[in-house]
Amino acid sequence: MKHTEKILVTSLKGGVGKSTVSAALAAAFAGMGSRVLLCDLDFRARSLELMLGAAEKTAFNLCDYINGKCDAGSVLVTVPVRAGLLLFCPAPDEDSFGVNGPVGLDSVPFAVSDLAMKAEADVVILDTGAESTIPRVLCRDFAETVLVVSEQSRTSIRAAEITADKLSRINEKIDIKLVINDFDVDLANRKVRAGLLEMIDDAAIRCVGVIPHDSSIPLIADSGVLPTFGPVAAAAENTAKRIRGENVPLFQGVGKLRRRIRL
């Protein structure tokens, strides 16, 4: 049986780029020839179907699938921007799920595992919200690798450290890595914002990727076409390779960042 890479993307802090990193990584793995299942598991504020231009296709969601209201073929949608990339949405709001809803949270890892098998996925990427319950359940019962995302701020790094600490207590075998997102090299060089070494040191988590700040990202996300080229895409590809144990430099192909970084 083939091995499926199971990657949980998380942080207890909102707005740090979990969904952006999840989508960019999914596109990178698919660009490298893998079949990727991208799972939107943010039950409070789903976003990936909008970010990836698949909103019109998502008539059904994970809750429908668990309740037997649709089959796998209806809940899994293809993403126009990349071949080999499938997506599903969570329930429309958190009341349809979990503690207040009709579906138990413990069923999530099993449903994801089942969909990954039906999708014949090589890689499963789990985008989660800024909360702890779903990530904990997935960490216990499904994920192998956790990517804790932080933006370039001390508060966000502290949240990353707390997130990693909590998840390592749930599953001591889980492989936890740091992804620094929205990194602005000029602000770091001017010492206006935290530098890379300082952040990695403070988080005390091995850094597997640095995604640069790119002011076009919010606009691109709104238009539903994630970049498959440019600095963010290049950094996501480096991150994907480093997750697989390849020894690529963090800033390979990231142009400006590679030339100007000072540690």
Ligand X SMILES: Nc1ncnc2c1ncn2[C@@H]1O[C@H](COP(=O)(O)OP(=O)(O)O)[C@@H](O)[C@H]1O
CB of 44 to ligand X, least distance (A): 10
Regarding 193 and contact with ligand X (CB under 6 A), the answer is no
Q: What is the dihedral sign for C-alpha 245, 202, 215, 49?
A: positive
Out of 80, 102, 104, 218, point to the residue binding ligand X (CB under 6 A): 218
Residue 88 contacts residue 74 (beta carbons within 8 Å) = no
Nearer to ligand X, 40 or 64 (CB): 40
Residue 243 contacts residue 175 (beta carbons within 8 Å) = no
For the chain, the helix, strand and coil percentages under 3-state DSSP, each to the nearest 5: 40, 15, 40
The DSSP element (H or E) to which 197 belongs, if any, is: helix 196-203
In three-state secondary structure terms, 150 is: strand
Pick what 214 binds: ligand X, Mg ion, none; C-beta below 5 to 8 Å, kind-dependent: ligand X
CB of 151 to ligand X, least distance (A): 8
CB of 217 to ligand X, least distance (A): 4
Regarding 156 and contact with Mg ion (CB under 5 A), the answer is no
CB of 39 to Mg ion, least distance (A): 12
21 closest CA partner among 248, 243, 261: 243
The encoded tokens of residue 79 equal 């993403």
User: φ, ψ for residue 254 (rounded to 5)?
Assistant: -95, 15
Regarding 10 and contact with Mg ion (CB under 5 A), the answer is no
Pick what 182 binds: ligand X, Mg ion, none; C-beta below 5 to 8 Å, kind-dependent: ligand X
Pick what 35 binds: ligand X, Mg ion, none; C-beta below 5 to 8 Å, kind-dependent: none
Regarding 211 and contact with ligand X (CB under 6 A), the answer is yes
Which residue reads 């796998």 in tokens? Answer: 72
The site map against ligand X for 93-122 (x = CB under 6 A) is: ------------------------------
Regarding 16 and contact with ligand X (CB under 6 A), the answer is yes
Give the other-Cβ count within 10 Å of 55's Cβ.
13
Regarding 14 and contact with ligand X (CB under 6 A), the answer is yes
Residues binding Mg ion: number (CB under 5 A): 2
List all residues 6 or more positions away from 225 whose beta carbon is below 8 Å from its beta carbon: 53, 81
Regarding 171 and contact with Mg ion (CB under 5 A), the answer is no
Regarding 11 and contact with Mg ion (CB under 5 A), the answer is no
Residue 33 contacts residue 43 (beta carbons within 8 Å) = no
Nearer to ligand X, 64 or 214 (CB): 214
In three-state secondary structure terms, 31 is: helix
Give, as ranges, the residues between 27 and 86 that touch ligand X (CB under 6 A): 47
The site map against Mg ion for 14-53 (x = CB under 5 A) is: ----xx----------------------------------
CB of 38 to Mg ion, least distance (A): 12
Degrees, nearest 5: CA angle 88-108-132: 100
